Structure 1
Amino acid sequence: MHLNSRPVAIGARLKKYPSIQTLGFKPNFQDYSAREQKLILNTEKIYYPTAFYADLFNAMGKKTFPSFHTYKFALDKIKQTAIFNMLDIPHPETKIFYGRKQKQNILKSFAFPFIAKKARGSSKGNDVYLIQNNEELLRCLKHKGPAYIQEYLPIDRDMRIIIIGKKIRLAYWRIAAPDNFKTNLSQGGVISFKPLPQKALDLALTTALRCGWDDVGIDIIERNNQFYVLEGNMKYGTKGFREAGIHYKKMMVNLIVEEKV
């Protein structure tokens, strides 16, 4: 049970809802009032701690939602691929290449066509490329940073499965627009609420639990009767909730107040 009458949050996501006591982000802890500092230090769990404070609360042993691990893996495809491989979670063949000999090493491991992605910081299908020849590869390698290369598994749809807490809260298909290999809604993909295979739902939930992620959209594809986890999206959009008739922020307030997350 919370030590105060209302759950305490730092991030501003639910600041319009009075049942959540949102303090706002202040990088200088001393800028919080004495009362706010006491709330932060004494409350059993802090909601939306921000990436800055999630590390600190984890070091202190304080619970947060989202979890420390959810923040640590956000927008980092390299770390996600590493943990998928370590935990034997099915994932398309993926390698990360560093240094000046990237092109030579890439073509030793992958045949055209294959996928190249920005390794860190991208979302909404941005910085994802279908590489079909040397010219396209050279153009892609002009971008700074490591080359994140993944086998191309031809699909026209994938599955977005959103886990909040330790439960699936929403699941739907994302169907790519014609002549586009990306299924992201921001790239013209559309939503379908046709039932998803139970194996995909089970894989998504297992992945989230094993990786320590408690607020994530898991993307899964099916190819030749095999299911693969593409990635975990900690900054997932809420259009799917709207199309399903669910008010996302009100749902989150209820889950928090009822201590279900």
Structure 2
Amino acid sequence: MRLVTFDPFRTLGIPGVLYIKPEMIFSRRREIEEADWVLFPEYWQVNALVYGLKKRIFPSVSSYHLGHDKVEMTRALWAVFPEYVPHTLILPGGAESVEKILDEMTLPLVVKEVRSSQGRGVRLVETERELLAYAETNKILYVQERLPIDRDLRVVFVGEEVLTAYWRIGGEGNFYNNVARGARVSFEDIPEEVLRVVTTIARHFEINHAGFDVAFVDGRPYILEFNVLFGNQALRERKVPLEEKILEYLRKYTPTFPVTPNFPIKKVS
């Protein structure tokens, strides 16, 4: 099996992988075309690889397209799994949206930038003045209820299964539960309902490599977001064989997307 990667650090444990620098995608086209799989492209490469070169990529197309943008992610979840989404508003930026937010929701609120990870671009808004400042400096407003939690779950889904899950417990008075921001990790007492829901959602959307951030309130999981390229620190400490699981998946799986049309494709001469 011929494998090309654009991210050597995420494929260190996979043997025989050819690394190509992302900016050389077009000059190394022949090697890419000959590959059975292209691994961990950057987001800007996805459309060229999938729609242009008709390559199989890992993570999947839907993992990239939904995981790249919290608005698109949330709308997809609203369409199929609305019961697992916290109360969320997506509105145009500007002061006029503040009144609508305050009519529907109660301070404090969680506001997020559309594209961010590891807690960056996420903050707690406690006053109307802070909310107005956020509304005036963002073109798209992503506003979410603050859930009554002091921890959340990171569920790592790779291939077709949950690989591991752990609590991320923030320090006392700390709004953030991200490991990158000093949260404590615990692998104990993971609710089975969370694993079931994440598995159902990931399989439905054909997401095959993501770290799901999940709140668990009164027995119900709430999907806060998922990140295609998640941190591996806790996995390394736990000796989770991530690369082995990826390789096992690549060997047995043929993606259903992109779909080959039932008419012949002629190259333009």
Alignment TM class, shorter chain as reference: 0.7 to 0.9
Match of 1:49 in 2: 41
Match of 1:156 in 2: 150
The range that moved more, 60-69 or 195-204, is: 60-69
The alignment's TM-score, normalised by the length of structure 1, stands at 0.86
Partners of 2:205 and 2:170 lie apart in 1 by 28
Match of 2:203 in 1: 209
Match of 1:21 in 2: 18
Q: CA deviation at 1:57?
A: 2.7
Letter in 1 for 2:111: A
The alignment's TM-score, normalised by the length of structure 2, stands at 0.83
Question: Aligned match of 2:8 in 6, 12, 15?
Answer: 12
Partners of 1:115 and 1:130 lie apart in 2 by 5
The superposition leaves residues 174-229 of structure 1 with CA deviations (integer Å, 9 ceiling, x where unpaired) of: 11110012211122211001031111001111111122211100111111222111
Match of 1:85 in 2: 78
Q: CA deviation at 1:46?
A: 1.6
The superposition leaves residues 35-58 of structure 1 with CA deviations (integer Å, 9 ceiling, x where unpaired) of: xx3332133322223323321232
Match of 2:110 in 1: 115
Percent identity over the alignment is 27
Which contiguous aligned blocks of 4+ residues in structure 1 show a shift greater than 4 angstroms? 14-18
Q: CA deviation at 1:78?
A: 0.6
Letter in 2 for 1:232: F
Alpha-carbon distance change, 254 to 170 in structure 1, aligned in 2, over 3 angstroms: closer
Partners of 2:107 and 2:12 lie apart in 1 by 50
Partners of 2:16 and 2:245 lie apart in 1 by 9
Q: After TM superposition, list the pairs within 5 Å mapping 1:24-43 onto structure 2.
A: 24-26=21-23, 29=26, 31-32=27-28, 37-43=29-35
Match of 2:192 in 1: 198
Question: Aligned match of 1:175 in 166, 169, 177?
Answer: 169
**What count of residue pairs does the alignment treat as equivalent?**
248
Alpha-carbon distance change, 218 to 99 in structure 1, aligned in 2, over 3 angstroms: closer
The range that moved more, 14-23 or 41-50, is: 14-23
Q: Is the CA contact 1:12–1:24 (under 8 Å) kept in the aligned structure 2?
A: no
Q: Is the CA contact 1:158–1:222 (under 8 Å) kept in the aligned structure 2?
A: yes
